[in-house]
Amino acid sequence: MARPVKWRKIENVPTVSRFVPAKRASAEDAENTLKLEELEAVRLKDLEGLEQEDCAGRMEISRATYQRILLSARGKIADSLVNGKAICINGGYFTQNICLIRCVRCGYQWMERFEKLNAVETGAYRCPNCGSGDIACGHSCGEQFGRGHCRRHGRMNR
């Protein structure tokens, strides 16, 4: 059985999600889909000029995984530029923050994507161990979650 894909941390969600060549032959032309973690890899390496080890550290993944993501992204971008294909940016295995969560009732701790914590406001988010909705930040501050996140550790890095 394959291991689950590790979430890749991204810092920027693009406001523009589609690029189309100015002169397209038809509306049905092929396009490349660039995942958000691929865009983040290109942004860190080519725009910010960081070393690969630093980029991998910022995305909280191994350097080898970062290298695979970067090569995939550059291949898609090159194909789009050379062959006049559109680029659509969406999808992937990404998060803007990974939070340590603790159940107040049973003490169980686990790591969770920040985006999933937005369900706390609706009461839909529960402890996977005991089913309690009484959860808090798993760090030493122990703050209760309000508006979907701990004020100190569970907020998005922007």
* Residue-averaged pLDDT of the chain: 80
**In the block, residue with structure tokens 């865009």:** 39
**In the block, residue with structure tokens 């979907």:** 148
pLDDT at 149 over 60: no
Q: Which of 68, 130, 74 is nearest to 93 (CA)?
A: 68
For 102, the token pair is 């603790």
Model confidence pLDDT, tens digit, residues 49-95: 999 999 999 998 999 999 999 999 999 999 999 999 999 999 888 87
What count of other Cβ atoms lies within 10 Å of the Cβ of residue 53?
11
Confidence of residue 152 (pLDDT cuts 50, 70, 90): very low
- Which 3-state string (H, E, C) describes 124-144? CCCCCCCCCCCEEECCCCCCE
CATH 1.10.10 applies to domain 8-94? yes
Q: Which of 80, 94, 70, 103 is nearest to 20 (CA)?
A: 80
More confident residue, 83 or 136: 83
CA 71 – CA 95 distance, rounded (Å): 20
CA 33 – CA 42 distance, rounded (Å): 14
What pLDDT score was predicted for residue 104? 85
Residues of the chain with CATH 1.10.10: 8-94
86 membership: H or E segment, kind and range: strand 86-89
CA 154 – CA 115 distance, rounded (Å): 10
Q: Which of 31, 40, 41 is nearest to 71 (CA)?
A: 41
pLDDT at 28 over 80: no
What are the angstrom distances between the C-alpha of 155 and each of 66, 68, 105? 24, 28, 23
Average pLDDT over residues 146-152: 45
